Structure formats: structure tokens, C-alpha cells
Amino acid sequence: MVEMKLVYEGGLHTSAEHGPSRACVETDAPVDNQGKGEAFSPTDLLATSLASCMLTTMAIAGDRMGWELDGARARVEKHMELVPRRRVGRVVVELDLPAGLPGDARGRLEEAARGCPVAVSLHPETVIDLSLRWL
């Protein structure tokens, strides 16, 4: 169990503190939903969490196999749907992986990314468009 504590600051802003590390994250509602877009929105964090989880899970798998993933990068897009209600409908994740990984790494690392805890926790109707580029 990990505890986080949040406070609604007003003006559609929240602040969250990660219990174990005391690291803080602030959110704001997005411009298209009455906010000012002054920080990550909660759904921005969802998309960012997905990409971060993919990179982390791939690195864990890579460590087991002796594959170095330092320098891997991700770009993520969040696409909202409004009908039947506002929700994240699609997340595009583009992963750039470092050169020098063996050919058999590709399938295993993609499987690790697709099976990361955040990916498997998302609603089944949320589309995850994943692409991997091997630099």
C-alpha cells in the first residue's frame, strides 16, 4: 500500500503529495474543460503514467536480460472523447529505444510495454496506440 494525500487548492487546482518520498505534483483542469492549463491535468497524468510505466517495465525486463535501455525516450498524446461522457478515449505512445539492442529484445520489450501495470489497468475501451522505434 502506498498513500498519497491531495488538497483541492481552489481554482480547479489540486496538489498531491507522495507519502513515501514527499514529492509533490500539482494539477489544473485543462483549457478545454474550464481550467487554465497551468499544470498537468489529471488525464494528462494518466497518459504520462502509461508512458512512464512502459519505459520502467521495459527497463526491468531489460535488466534481467542484460539489455541497456538508458536513454530510451517516449512521446505521448492523450485524445479525449466527449460522448457518452468525457474520458480518455485514446493514448498514442511512441517509444524510441537505444541502438545496440539484440533482435530478440524487440518482441520481449514490446510485450513488457503492453503488459505494464498501467496499461492493463486502463478501461478496455481506451485505445492504446503503441509504436516502437529502434534507433
pLDDT (0 to 100) of residue 103: 87
> What pTM value is reported for the model?
0.95
Residue 119's pLDDT is 98
Please tell me the distance from the alpha carbon of residue 20 to that of residue 43, in angstroms, as a whole number.
23
What whole-number distance in Å separates Cα of residue 31 and Cα of residue 36?
5
Closest CA to 51 of 135, 131, 106: 131
Query: Which candidate, 103, 97, 24, 5, places its Cα nearest to that of 54?
Result: 97
b/e 83-106 (16+ beta carbons within 10 angstroms → b): eeeeebeebbbebebeeebeeebe
Which stretches of the chain score pLDDT less than 50? none
- 23 SS3 class: coil
> What's the pLDDT at 71?
95
Domain definitions of the chain by residue range: 4-33, 42-134
Q: Where are the beta strands (DSSP E) in 1-135?
A: 4-10, 13-18, 24-28, 73-81, 87-97, 127-134
Distance, in Å, from the CA atom of 27 to the CA atom of 15, rounded to the nearest integer, reads: 6
**What pLDDT, on a 0 to 100 scale, did the predictor assign at position 135?**
83
Instruction: Determine the CATH number of domain 42-134.
Output: 3.30.300.20
Tens-place pLDDT, residues 89-120: 999 999 999 988 998 899 999 999 999 999 99
For residue 108, count CB atoms less than 10 angstroms from its CB and return exposed for 0-12, middle for 13-18, buried for 19 or more. Answer: middle
